[in-house]
Chains A and B, each alone.
Chain A
Amino acid sequence: MAMLSVKDLQVYYGSIHAIKGVSFEVNEGEIVTLIGANGAGKTTTLHAICGLVKAKAGEITFCGQNLRTTDPHKIIRLGLAQVPEGRRIFARMTVQENLEMGAYIRKDKSGIDEDYESVFKRLPRLKERRKQIAGTLSGGEQQMLAIGRALMARPKMLLLDEPSMGLSPLLVNEIFEIIHDVNRSGVTVLLVEQNAKKALSIANRAYVLETGTISMSGDADTLSRDEKVRKAYLGG
C-alpha cells in the first residue's frame, strides 16, 4: 500500500477550478516529484495535502489516515513534515531555536539531541551558525535550515515545495544532493519543483501537472527521455 495516496483531488479558489481530479501515489522509500509550469497546481496540491486549502472532493490518505479531516497542526504527528515554499524559517530566532521548534512535538530529550547531531552532520553549515539569527542567513542556508527543521521531527516523509527557488545553480545542486541523501537514510520524499531537470535527476517517479490535471506520469528516467517532456520542461 502506498504511504501517501491522493485520489481524484478537486480544489477550487472561489469559482476557479484549480485542481481538476489529480491522483497520485508515493510509496515508502521513494522520491516522487510533481513537476509542471507556473500555475499548473503543484503548490495547491501540496497545500491541500497539508490542509492549508480545503479540498472540495477527493481522498488524501497518509499511512491509512484521512488527511482531509486531520487538523493541519496534527499532520506532523503522523510523520509528515513540510519544507514550505519560501522556506518560512522563524526569522528572529536563532538557528538552534529553529531546530528546536522543529522538534516541538517530541519529548524524547536524548533522541532530540541525537537528531541535532545528525542534522549538523548532514548540514555542517548550520552547525557553524547555530547561534546566529536565522533571518541573517543566506538563501541557501535558510533552505538548509528549513530542511533541518523538518528533519528534527524525525518524519517518515518529507514534503518539499520548490526547494530550489531563488538559489544559485551551485546551491541548487547542493540542496538536491542533501535531499537525495535524506532519502537514502530512509525518509520518503515528495518533491514539488519547477526545476524539472534537477528534480527528475534524483526522483524515482514523476508526475507532470498541467493546468490542474496530471498529463503524464511514470518512471523519472523514462520521463526525462520523453520528447514532449524534454520540449516543455527540460529546454529541448
Chain B
Amino acid sequence: MKQKKWIPNVIILVLVLALYILLSVLISANIINPYYSGILTMVCINVILAVSLNLATGFLGQLVLGHAGFMSVGAYSAALFTMYSGLPTVVSFPLALLVGGIVAAAFGVIIGVPALRLKGDYLAILTLGFGEIIRVLILAMPFTGGAAGLSGIPLLTTFTYVFIIAIITVAVIFAFIHSRHGRAVIAIREDEIAAEAAGIHTTYYKLLAFVLAAFFAGIAGGLYAHHIGVLDPSKFDFNYSVEILIMVVLGGMGSITGSIVAAIVLTLLPELLRGFSEYRMLIYSVILICVMLFKPSGLLGQHELSLTKILNKFRGKKAETKKEA
C-alpha cells in the first residue's frame, strides 16, 4: 500500500492555514485580546529562535550559548533600518527583517570561523562571550540608545507577519535538514572525522548551519523589535540565550517539531502560571527538572511528530479491524 507522498504535506498546509484563519478571526473579533495576541506573537518569535538554534545545537551538535546575541544584532539593525531608511513601511519592514537577518548572519560568519574550530565546552564559552560582548557594545555605541534603550520603533509586527515568518522558518530548516546538505550536517554531528573521510567539507557545512541559525535569529530579533517598540540591551543577556537553549533541549535536540512544542509550552507556561504569582518560577523549574529526569533526551528525543506516521497508524488500525471483521 504505497500512499502518495504529497497528501500529508497538503494536510499540514490546510491545518496551518486553518489555524491561521482561526487565530486571526479571534484576534480581530477581540476574543483574543491584545494582551493574549502579544503572547501569541512571542510564541511565534520563540518558535523561530528555538528551531533555528536547534539547527546549530541539535543537528550540527554544537552547543551555542549566544543565540540572543544574534537576535539582538538583528533587532537593532532592523529597528534602525525602519527608523532611518525613510522608505514607506510596506517596503521598509520586510527589508528591515532581511537586513536584520543578514547582519546577524554576517556576525555568524565572524564568530563562526574561529569558533567552529573549537568543540563542545570551548565553543559554548566562546559563543557565550560573544553574546556578552554584543550586549556591551550595544550599550557603548552612540546610535543604539545605550542603556536607555532604543525607543520609537514603529510597531509593525502583526500577527500575520510573525506567523508566516515562523512557518517559513520551520519549512526552510525542515527542508534543509532533509536535503543532501542536512545529511552532511547530521553526519558531522555523528562523527566529524568519518564525515570528512566520506568527502564532506566539514568546515563549510559547520559554518553554513551556524550562519543559517544566526540568520533566522536575526529575523526573530527584527520581529521582536517591531513588536515591543523599545529595545533594551539587557533583554538579550545570557539568560535569554539559555531560555532558548532550554526550549531546544526540552523539545529534544534534533527534533524540529519538538522545538516548536517546547517553544509554545515554555512561552505560555509562565503566563498561564501568573495566577500562582511567586510560585510561578518554582513550578516552571520543577517541570523542567522533571522532564530532564524522566526524559533526558527531551520531550520528543530525535523524533518528529509526523502526520505520515499518524496516518499510517490510523490506516494500520483500519486494516486490522477489516481483517478481524
Contact = CB atoms under 8 A, between A and B. Distances in A.
Given A73-B202, A92-B302, A84 B197 contact: yes
B190 A149 contact: no
A90 B187 contact: yes
Interface in A35-68: 50, 52
Q: Is the interface of B mostly helix, strand, loop or mixed?
A: helix
A72 B196 contact: yes
Given A89-B191, A90-B190, A92-B190, A73 B183 contact: no
Nearest to B194: A88
Interface in B140-184: 180, 183-184
A104 B195 CA distance: 9
Nearest to A135: B190
Contacts of B302: 92
B194 A73 contact: no
A2 interface: no
Contacts of A71: 201
A73 B197 CA distance: 6
Contacts of B190: 90-93
A120 B200 CA distance: 24
A132 to B, nearest CB: 15
B86 interface: no
B194 A100 contact: no
B199 interface: yes
A74 interface: yes
Nearest to B254: A92
A50 B202 CA distance: 14
Contacts of A198: none
B193 interface: yes
B186 interface: yes
A76 B191 contact: no
Interface string B30-57: 0000000000000000000000000000
A92 B252 CA distance: 14
A73 B201 contact: yes
A33 B197 CA distance: 20
A73 B200 contact: yes
A92 B188 CA distance: 12
Contact of B194 (A74, A89, A92, A105): A89
Given A52-B193, A88-B191, A93 B198 contact: no
A77 interface: yes
Contact of A153 (B194, B199, B202): B199
Given A100-B183, A101-B183, A82 B191 contact: no
A144 interface: no
B198 A102 contact: yes
A167 B186 CA distance: 28
B193 A104 contact: no
Nearest to A102: B198
A9 interface: no
A75 B202 CA distance: 13
Given A90-B187, A92-B302, A93-B186, A104 B194 contact: no
A153 B186 contact: no
A81 interface: yes
A150 B197 CA distance: 9
Contacts of B200: 73, 104
Contacts of A150: 197
A104 B196 contact: no
B221 to A, nearest CB: 32
A90 B194 contact: yes
B194 A84 contact: yes
26 contacts: A72-B196, A72-B197, A73-B199, A74-B199, A76-B197, A77-B199, A84-B193, A84-B194, A84-B197, A89-B191, A89-B194, A90-B186, A90-B187, A91-B190, A91-B191, A92-B302, A93-B187, A97-B183, A100-B183, A101-B183, A104-B180, A104-B183, A104-B199, A105-B198, A105-B199, A153-B199
Given A76-B199, A105-B198, 4 more contacts: A73-B202, A101-B195, A101-B198, A102-B198
